[in-house]
Amino acid sequence: MKIFSAPQVREADAYTIQHEPVSSLDLMERAASRCSAWIEEHFSPKHPVYIICGKGNNGGDGLAIVRQLLLHGYDATAYTIQGATSPDHTANLLRLRESYPDKVHPLNDLQEFPSLPPDALIVDALFGTGLNKPIEGWMGGVIHHMNNLRQKHTIIAIDMPSGLRADSTSLHTPVVQAHHTLSFETWKLAFLMPENAAFVGQVHILPIGLHPDYLTHTPARFHLTDLETIRTIYQPRDPFGHKGTYGHALLIAGSYGKMGAALLSARSCLRAGVGLLTCHVPACGYEIMQLGEPAAMCITDSEIQHSTHFHLDIADASYTTVGIGPGLGTHQQTALALEKLLENFRSPMVLDADALNIISVYPYLLYRIPQGSIITPHPKEFERLFGKTANDFERLELLSSKSQELGIYILLKGRYSAMACPDGAVYFNPTGNPGMATGGSGDVLTGILTALLAQRYTPKAAIILGVWLHGFAGDLAAASLSQEGMTAGDITTHLGAAFLQGI
C-alpha cells in the first residue's frame, strides 16, 4: 500500500473531485460519515461528543460529524475557532446552525473550552493535512489542555492528530495525543515513526472512495507492506523441486556463551524453507548444534570460543548465500575473517548483529559488502554504523541515502521495521508486536532472510516477505502464548502457521 505525502493527499482529493466526479462538499460528507459510523460502532449514545473544529476542511469534517451524530441520536456539540473559514467548512457550519443552532459554540480562547461530563468523548478536528506551521499561542494551550484530559476522556483525532505534520518531524511542538486516529484512505508517514507513537494512538484507516486511478498510477516512495504485495512475492514450491532447488545456505554464528543465537538462526532458516543448511561455529558449539538441530550440518572452527576461519568454507562448497552475525562476537580474528569473507563471497548475503558491530569499528568494510546484500541493524546498531540523527525523519533519510549509496538493503528493525532499497523505495512492515522485544528475535529473522535468499528470492522480495512472516509468526506466538510468555524460539515454532495463514 502506497503512503502518500500531504500534497499528494490533496492531489488525490482534487483528482477525485474532478474525475469521479463529486463535489468537494459531498466528498467531505462521505469522509465525515465514515468517522461518525466508526464512532457509532465503538461508542454508545450515552457518551456526549465534544468536537473541536479548526477553520479549514478538517474542521469542516468535524462540523459534518456533529450533524450526522445528532441525526443518529447522539448528543454532539461543535466548538469552532472563529475567523475566515474554508468554503466547505462554511457550508457545513451553516447547515449545522440551521438545524441545531444550540449545538455550535465559539472557541476563541482557552477559557471557552467546555468542561466535560464524565463519559464525554473529545473529537479533535482542529487541523489535518493542511497544517503549515507549528501551532502557537492559545491554540497550543487548547492542545495542552486536551492532552491533560486524556486520562479521563477518550480522544479521537480526525485524519491527523492536530499539530502532527504528515511528512516531517513534529518534535518539540504542540500535538494532540489521541487514543484513536481515524485517517482517510491511506497511511501517513508520520504514523509509522516511533517518535510519534504517543500522538497517534491506534490508527484506523477509513476508505473514503478516493479515485482508484490516482491511487494506482501515482508513484510513491514509501510503502506499507500489505497482503496483496506479499501474495505477489510468495512463490509456492515446485512439485518437482529437490533440495538443490532451494539453495545451500552457510550460517556463520555463535561464540562461547552465545551458541543459542546460532541455534535460533539455524532453526528459523530451516523452518523458512532452505534446501540445505551448513552452520560454521567455534569448536565449543559442535555438540550444541548437532544435538540442538539435527537437520543442520556443522563445520567447526579451529578456535574453541570464537570463529576465525569461516572465510575458507566458501572455497569448498558452492553456497547460494551466507548469513552472518548472530552471537558471533567481535574478536579481532573474527573481524579479519569477515574482511576476507567479504573479499571472496560476492553474492547477496545477510549481515546482522556482531557482523554489523565489527563493521561499525572498521567502517571501510561497509563499502565491501556485496551489492544487493541485506543488513539488519536495530536502532542502536544503526547508530553505531551511520551515526546519530536529530529525529526519526532524519534517520529515515539517512537510512535511504546509505542504502542507495552502498547498493544494499538496510532493514531498520522495530515496530514498523523500515526496509530501505537501493532504488530509493522504503517499505514499512505492519506485522509483529512488543512480545518480540526479547533477546533472540533478531537472530530468528536473520535465519529467515538467509533461507529466502538461498531459495533465490530477489533480495527485495526476501526482505519484504521475510520481515512480514517473522512479524506474523510473532503475532501467532503472542496469540497463543501472550506477548509476555513468548520467547524468540516461539516465533520459529509458529513460522509454519505463518506460511499457511499469513500469505
Ligand X SMILES: NC(=O)C1=CN([C@@H]2O[C@H](COP(=O)(O)OP(=O)(O)OC[C@H]3O[C@@H](n4cnc5c(N)ncnc54)[C@H](O)[C@@H]3O)[C@@H](O)[C@H]2O)[C@@H](O)CC1
Ligand Y SMILES: Nc1ncnc2c1ncn2[C@@H]1O[C@H](COP(=O)(O)OP(=O)(O)O)[C@@H](O)[C@H]1O
Question: Which positions lie near ligand Y, rule CB under 6 A?
Answer: 378, 413-415, 417, 432-434, 436-437, 439-443, 445, 470-471
3-state secondary structure of 80: strand
> Which residue spans within 302-390 are E strands per DSSP?
321-324, 350-351, 374-375
| CB-nearer residue toward ligand X: 39 or 264 | 39
Phi then psi dihedrals of residue 410, to 5 deg: -115, 120
Among 158, 193, 277, 359, binds ligand X (CB under 6 A): 158
Question: Comparing C-alpha atoms, which of 15, 443, 10 is closest to residue 255?
Answer: 443
Binding mask 27-46 for ligand X (x = CB under 6 A): xx--x---------------
* Nearby residues of 140 by Cβ (< 8 Å), 6 or more positions away: 174
The entry of ligand Y, ligand X, K ion, none that residue 441 binds, CB within 5 to 8 Å by partner kind: ligand Y
Residue 480 cell numbers, joined: 497463543
Q: Are 324 and 349 in contact (CB under 8 A)?
A: yes
Is residue 92 part of the contact set for ligand X (CB under 6 A)?
no
What is the rounded CA–CA span in Å between residue 145 and residue 143?
Answer: 5
178-190: string of b/e by CB count within 10 Å (b at 16+)? bbbbbbbbbbbbb
* Nearby residues of 48 by Cβ (< 8 Å), 6 or more positions away: 74, 75, 76, 77, 116, 117, 119, 120, 121
The entry of ligand X, K ion, ligand Y, none that residue 56 binds, CB within 5 to 8 Å by partner kind: ligand X
The entry of K ion, ligand Y, ligand X, none that residue 28 binds, CB within 5 to 8 Å by partner kind: ligand X
* Known binding positions for AMP: 413-417, 442
Among 6, 69, 91, 158, binds K ion (CB under 5 A): 158
Is residue 185 part of the contact set for K ion (CB under 5 A)?
no
| CB-nearer residue toward ligand Y: 55 or 413 | 413
What is the rounded CA–CA span in Å between residue 106 and residue 97?
Answer: 12
| CB-nearer residue toward ligand Y: 124 or 475 | 475
| CB-nearer residue toward ligand X: 127 or 427 | 127
The entry of ligand Y, ligand X, K ion, none that residue 185 binds, CB within 5 to 8 Å by partner kind: none
Residues 74-133 that bind K ion (CB under 5 A): 124
To ligand Y, the closest distance from the beta carbon of 490 in angstroms equals 12
Residues in the chain: 503
| CB-nearer residue toward ligand X: 58 or 225 | 58
Place of cell 524468540: 488
Where does this chain bind ligand X (CB under 6 A)?
A: 13, 24, 27-28, 31, 54-59, 61, 86, 127-135, 158-160, 184
